[in-house]
Structure 1
Amino acid sequence: MSRDGGLDWHGARFTRVTTDVAPAGERFDFWHALFPGIELRHTVREHGYGAAALTCAGDDGIAFTDLSCAPTASRFFDGRLDHMQLCLVTEGQFGFTHGSDEREQLGPGPGLYLFDCHRAAQTYSEARYRAFHITLPRALVHRTMGADPIGGDRSLRTLPDTPLGLLLKSQLHALSVYGPAMDAEETAAAMDAMSGLTLAYLNRFNPARADAGDGALDDAMFAAACRYIDARKDRPDLTAATIARAIGCSRAGLYRMFNRRGLAVSDHVRQVRLNHARRLLRETALDIGEVSLRCGYGDLSAFGKAFRRRFGMTPRDWRLSIA
Structure 2
Amino acid sequence: MSSPATTDRLDVWRDLIRDNFVALDIHADRDRTFAGSVRTSDLGHLTVASVESGTQGCSRTPGLARRDSDVYLQVGLIARGAATVAQDGREAVLRPGDFAVYETDRPFFWGLQGDWELLVFTWPRASIALDAGASQLLTARALSGGDGLGAIVGRMLRDLVTSPPELSAAGGVRLADEVAELVTTVAGERVSPAAPARAADDLLRRIDAHILERLADPDLCPTSIAAAHFVSTRHLHRLFAHRGGTVAQQIQRLRLERCRRELLDPRGSITDVSRRWGFTDLATFSRAFRGAYGMSPSEWRQRCTPMS
Greater C-alpha radius of gyration: 2
Give me the TM-score of the superposition, normalised by structure 1: 0.47
Report which structure shows greater RCO (CA 8 Å, sep ≥6). 1
